[in-house]
Structure 1
């Protein structure tokens, strides 16, 4: 597919965000962003220590957070607002109230009918990361990664106004769909959904995945012995976006 205007805008913003300006000017940019967006920097280094706006976006925690070590507890993969949740019924889920979509289309054509069938009757939850949130994502439970598919697409905003007016927004946007299996043998999907100004979605366990690049067709990655633990950092959005877990 040809690059959409939203991709070009996101790439342009990415170039600005990645540029390392002279320290005095970068300090102004970073401090202005923190103030404008209302970032809580209590768990992070001072804004003027980040050499680019993107390094501020993708900041890491100074100290690991505490979370339940109970294997049966499923933790949130990110800091976010939960925009919708519910049960998958007749292959439908909600991007927001009144706007439903087919889960099969979200997962894409590179998963078999058998692989997709595991989510029917299961639950879905949408995690929306605003530009003020911590942008890194973490593993929600001890798991094995079975498969990942990078699906090129558009970069529409994923805020509430956009979710309310654009049907199938999650399906139109670029995404990375990850099929996982818990230690109890339950399968689920984590779907990283792009958004406007999200130039990159990093996936640390598979560096070959390069989003908002020159890829025009879905790319499939199979895994045999990739195990990740609850709380592990596995990448980040370079700006706010959405994670859908089904």
Structure 2
């Protein structure tokens, strides 16, 4: 069964199939799949804006949402969830490693692929999985300036349970972007956007050196995705109720920035 799973995962992640999938989902004919897609994934249609104007399945997938349905927590120092999704794992990067799935650990150097990793040693990390039903735009978890931003080419393995339980070191192999931000207090955090399925397209809407407000939209995914947050040292205090399996919504407070010890 394990061999069969590997064959399935490697087959659906082939670049040629990914391009074909992207082309099909972006075609005007694919708009006829929107209603079955809503039914299949039980999407809350009350949150969908202008649902009658989508010209393709891709357009629906990257749909906007009414801002009043995702209020941004305005407490001083608050860090908010950058996306809607389910917490897959969380904890501290002990000895420079994070555990992102099925006790599979990754070094910060592997994940950041050349960006400075030392300052995130022992930092708190949070892995959020976005299912096909979720809102797939990404927002700023805390106000800050973009220090580094890098696109890392790679595979497009699915990031669902099948993928992470089958492919070793999946998150370090998949196509992703790594961005390092610095808050006005001088505290840094990293946001990693991991693509999956299809061509794993990741759109970023900011540049290095740009100041960005908490809650501002900074990008989006097109089909399949995971967001990983990693905070510098001991500068993040998570909410006590955060736990694996918990559903979070964009703008919801997940913790707060605090001075390092």
Q: Indicate whether the TM-score tops 0.5.
A: yes
TM-score normalised according to structure 2 size: 0.79
8 A Cα contact 1:9 1:196, kept in partner = no
SS for the counterpart of 2:98 is strand
SS for the counterpart of 1:118 is helix
The structure where strand makes up a greater share of residues is: 2
8 A Cα contact 2:102 2:164, kept in partner = no
Deviations 1:194-225 (A, max 9, x none): 1112541100114xxxxxxxxxxxxxxxx23x
The equivalences for 1:33-48 within 5 A come to 33-45=37-49, 47-48=51-52
Report the aligned-residue RMSD: 1.7
Change (3 A) 1:76 1:5: closer
Correspondence 1:57 to 2:58: no
TM-score normalised according to structure 1 size: 0.84
CA distance in 2, matches of 1:98, 1:199: 24
Deviations 1:151-187 (A, max 9, x none): 1000001112221232210000011000111121111
The equivalences for 1:94-133 within 5 A come to 94-109=99-114, 111=115, 115-133=116-134
8 A Cα contact 2:13 2:158, kept in partner = no
8 A Cα contact 1:100 1:167, kept in partner = no
The structure where helix makes up a greater share of residues is: 2
Aligned to 1:141: 142
Change (3 A) 1:198 1:34: farther
Deviations 1:30-62 (A, max 9, x none): 101110111112122354331111110000113
CA distance in 2, matches of 1:8, 1:140: 35
